[in-house]
Copies of this chain bind each other. A is one copy, B any other.
Amino acid sequence: MIRDRYASCIQACNACAIACEHCAASCLREEHAGHMALCIRTDRDCADLCRLAALLMARDSPLADEICRLCAIACQACAEACAKHDHDHCQECAQACQRCVVECEAMAKAA
């Protein structure tokens, strides 16, 4: 069993990574993809940080809490960028990011 203290944060990170990847890919298909540049950029960093955070928590790595701290920063930036756009994929991504900020900040503080 994954350690209890990590379970909900791993879920939030995985869900956020998928939402970010989906949002970035969908932004690239929008008519005005150029307007979505900041959204795409923050999606990519956020997805990659979330994926590594989930990995290090699953391993119970000594760096798990530190990566959660960075991950919360990436999620916050992405939540702000995505919240400005009305596309469903952006709004869903902003929500996944906000949940992940809460989970990752709690993990970072518990360190």
Contact = CB atoms under 8 A, between A and B. Distances in A.
A59 B22 contact: yes
Interface residues of A, number: 46
Number of copies: 4
Interface in A8-40: 10, 14, 17-18, 21-22, 24-25, 28-29, 31-37, 40
A73 interface: yes
A52 B52 contact: yes
Interface of A: 1-2, 10, 14, 17-18, 21-22, 24-25, 28-29, 31-37, 40-41, 44-45, 47-49, 51-52, 54-56, 58-63, 66-67, 70, 73-74, 77, 88-89, 92
